[in-house]
Amino acid sequence: MRVGLFVTCVNDTLYPRTGRAVVTLLERLGVRVDFPAEQSCCGQPLFNTGYRHRTEPLLRRYAAAFSDHDYIVTPSGSCAAMVRDNYPRIAAKAAAEGRGGAVPEAVTEAAARTYELTEFLVDVLGVTDVGARYPHTVTYHPTCHGLRVLGLGDRPRRLLEHVEGLELRELPGAEECCGFGGTFAVKNPAVSAAMGADKARAVTATGARTLCTVDNSCLMHLGGILAREGSPVRPVHIAEILAGAEDDPEPPHGTARGGGAR
């Protein structure tokens, strides 16, 4: 099995530790992981802002970069949803408007091979116990794209429940958006910050010391709010928890501590 890691812009630029954690985890499970250097942004910021035509070259680049891989795995529910849900439709519209040629077929085929990390582990590899150890209290926030577009359901929770030493605490209002929403946080900062403050209060109420999600963009937003409130809660991507084999006393998301809409 040959897997291509689609690391995403946010992880590559701000949270490379998450990408390394994915490689560590998958290789521990016997998976060969490649990192195609030709990969780039999935185009979600452009597409969500209305620039559909300018997104099209990124679709072609994605399909070409991962053409030789059996599966494409990404530690981002948001970017996985962009590829799986939007790529086929964007490609089809481009073809209908006389652009793209045979590209729609290649894009649709690549989209079908794309998996968010936790669904790849559970659905493709068929595992829920990945041999991880993380002796901390954790609360899990199901991010919007993973919950509503990909339909991840309980896959992340099932993986967390099998981590040695981990105590999972229920998050009140778990299915409510954290308020980040990518360009939403830029266009509507006051609303974004208010939603984030509500979610941060819910996180604090659990008493957990770690906040976990499948998207670092949401962790960046919430981590910044929690840090400014003086909260001891650590924002940690699920890949880093699942890759762990020992206690790590240092917060792995230093950048996230300074993020979030003001």
Given 124, 158, 193, which residue is the final one in a domain? 124
Q: Are residues 106 and 202 in the same domain?
A: no
Q: Are residues 41 and 68 in the same domain?
A: yes
Q: Are residues 163 and 249 in the same domain?
A: yes
Q: What is the pLDDT of residue 255?
A: 37
Backbone angles phi, psi at 256, to 5 degrees: -65, -30
**Domain limits at 144?**
137-257
Q: Are residues 7 and 119 in the same domain?
A: yes
Q: Are residues 26 and 79 in the same domain?
A: yes
Q: Are residues 114 and 156 in the same domain?
A: no
Whether 141 is covered by a domain: the verdict is yes
Paired tokens of 219: 């962790």
Q: Are residues 109 and 152 in the same domain?
A: no
Q: Which residues pair with 237 in a beta bridge?
A: 213
Given 124, 154, 189, which residue is the final one in a domain? 124
Q: What is the pLDDT of residue 258?
A: 35
Q: Are residues 157 and 189 in the same domain?
A: yes
Q: Are residues 15 and 95 in the same domain?
A: yes
Whether 129 is covered by a domain: the verdict is no
Q: What is the pLDDT of residue 113?
A: 97
In order along its 262 residues, the chain shows pLDDT tens digits of 899 999 999 999 999 999 999 999 999 999 999 999 999 999 999 999 999 999 999 999 999 999 999 999 999 999 999 999 999 999 999 988 988 666 788 999 999 999 999 999 999 999 999 999 999 999 999 999 999 999 999 999 999 999 999 999 999 999 999 888 878 878 888 998 999 999 999 999 999 999 999 999 999 999 999 999 999 999 999 999 999 854 454 444 443 333 333 2
Q: What is the domain count for the chain?
A: 2
Q: Are residues 110 and 147 in the same domain?
A: no
What is the secondary structure of 24-54 as a DSSP string? HHHHHTT-EEE--TT----SHHHHHTT-HHH
Q: Helix, strand, coil % (nearest 5) of the chain? A: 50, 10, 35
Q: What is the pLDDT of residue 64?
A: 95
Q: Are residues 149 and 248 in the same domain?
A: yes
| Secondary structure (3-state) at 253 | coil
Whether 68 is covered by a domain: the verdict is yes
Q: What is the pLDDT of residue 251?
A: 45
β 2-5/167-169 pair status = unpaired
Whether 171 is covered by a domain: the verdict is yes
Q: What is the pLDDT of residue 128?
A: 98
Q: What is the pLDDT of residue 189?
A: 86
116: left (phi over 0), alpha (psi -120 to 50) or beta: beta
Given 100, 124, 148, which residue is the final one in a domain? 124
Whether 204 is covered by a domain: the verdict is yes
Paired tokens of 258: 């300074």
Q: What is the pLDDT of residue 22?
A: 98
